[in-house]
Amino acid sequence: MYRPEIKVIDCTVRDGGLMNKWQFDDKFVKHVYNALTEAGVDYMEIGYLSSESAFDRKEYGPWKFCAEADLKRIIGDSEKKIKFSAMADIGRIDYDDIPLRSDSSLDMIRVACYVHQVDAAIALAEHCQDKGYETTINLMAVSTVGIRDLNEALEDLSKSRVPIIYLVDSFGAFYSEDIDALAKKYFERLPDKTIGVHCHNNQQLGFANTISAIINGINYLDATLYGIGRGAGNCPLELLLSFLKNPKFDVRPIVKCIEAEIFPWAKKIDWGYSVPYMTSGVLNQHPRAAMALMESENKEKITEFYDSMVNSTDSL
């Protein structure tokens, strides 16, 4: 699939950081930065934009905040050849704490929101736009949203100045047919917008659903090295780059970085397909219960977990 409009956004540090409170050391982040640059990836989402008053630096690593000094340390003295993105969650960042783009190494700010937060998300994203940033709104957990609420949110988004809207499968609940149907709806309701996709791998469909999105005309594609990310993880970047036939991409630096930096983390934290994540995905539930199980000593007690999830969903 060669389409020059396609942009690849690597979320390794940002989404992977959900599994270790962004405690990646500089060596890790620099290697990822260099590998993505060499591989021709368009954006590196390096973390969250959060106010220092909202989270403690003793608990959270630098990529929970994306302070300019931290970004500068990663870039070093050479020219930055990849765009930096940071994600902002509604209510966790004060407008005043967002620098002007001209004072920042960030290029894009992506605002993640649930459907009931769309108005607040538009206000925040447009504020970032006015400060000079590229912006997106990433509408999360749409697998749980009723059709009227979704239509209303898309209506609001269509009227906003935010140019890029993301379809997000937060719970890893979607099949390719769901991506087909939602992509068609997003294009119909958001005729002037660029659409992006962010998939999770609960049902081993993160990559497949990203391909479905591409086939449907979606051009902003999220992925991570070796799929690292919350719970079942994300669409693996190495698979996505191998699929995209754009000659600007090179998968080899990604393989090298996985070997050097991701494998050590794979021994310390658990992400990727497992039956508990499958269970929450199939039942269209937040992965938090599955994550709690996978972080406990009971991670192999999958039948007990399956029963508890099925029972709690039946009694909704």
Quote the tokens at residue 72: 């500068």
Alpha carbon distance 182, 199 (integer Å) = 13
Q: Report the Cα 245 to chain-centroid distance in Å.
A: 23
CB of 170 to a second copy, least distance (A): 18
Residue 134: beta bridge partners? 108
Q: Is 34 in the site for a second copy (CB under 8 A)?
A: no
The 278-297 site mask, x for binding a second copy (CB under 8 A), equals xx--x---------------
CB of 307 to a second copy, least distance (A): 8
Q: Is 176 in the site for a second copy (CB under 8 A)?
A: yes
Quote the tokens at residue 183: 């992509």
Q: Is 170 in the site for a second copy (CB under 8 A)?
A: no
The size of the interface with a second copy (CB under 8 A), counted in residues, is 40
End-to-end, the C-alpha distance of the chain in Å comes to: 42
Q: Is 301 in the site for a second copy (CB under 8 A)?
A: yes
CB of 125 to a second copy, least distance (A): 32
CB of 89 to a second copy, least distance (A): 28
Are the CB atoms for 67 and 103 separated by under 8 Å?
no
Q: Which of 306, 242, 314, 245 is nearest to 280 (CA)?
A: 306
Please, what sign has the CA dihedral across residues 13, 16, 17, 23?
Answer: negative
Q: Is 302 in the site for a second copy (CB under 8 A)?
A: yes
Q: Which of 24, 174, 226, 271 binds a second copy (CB under 8 A)?
A: 226
Alpha carbon distance 147, 232 (integer Å) = 27
Alpha carbon distance 36, 85 (integer Å) = 13
Q: At 264, which amino acid appears?
A: P
Stretch that binds a second copy, among 15-23, 119-127, 163-171, 306-314 (CB under 8 A): 306-314
- Residue with smaller CB distance to a second copy, 102 or 315: 315
- Write out the residues near a second copy by the rule CB under 8 A: 175-177, 201, 203-209, 211-212, 215, 226, 236, 238-239, 242-243, 251-252, 255-256, 258-259, 263, 272-273, 275, 278-279, 282, 300-303, 306-307, 310
